[in-house]
Amino acid sequence: QVQPVESGGGSVQAGGSLSLSCAASGNYYSDNCIGWFRQAPGKEREGVASIYTGGGNTDYADSVKGRFTISQDNAKKTVYLQMNGLKPEDTGMYYCAAHFPPPRSWCGDYRRSYDIWGQGTQVTVSS
Measured between alpha carbons, how far is residue 110 from residues 10, 13, 77, 115 in Å?
24, 28, 21, 11
Reduced to 3 states (helix: H, G, I; strand: E, B; else coil), residue 59 is strand
Model confidence over 24-59: pLDDT tens digits? 998 999 999 999 999 999 999 999 999 999 999 999
Average predicted confidence (pLDDT) for the chain: 96
What per-residue confidence (pLDDT) applies to 16? 98
CB of 15 closer than 8 Å to CB of 85: yes
CB of 89 closer than 8 Å to CB of 72: no
**Is the preceding peptide bond at 88 cis, omega within 30 degrees of 0?**
no
Query: Percentage of the chain with pLDDT > 70?
Result: 100
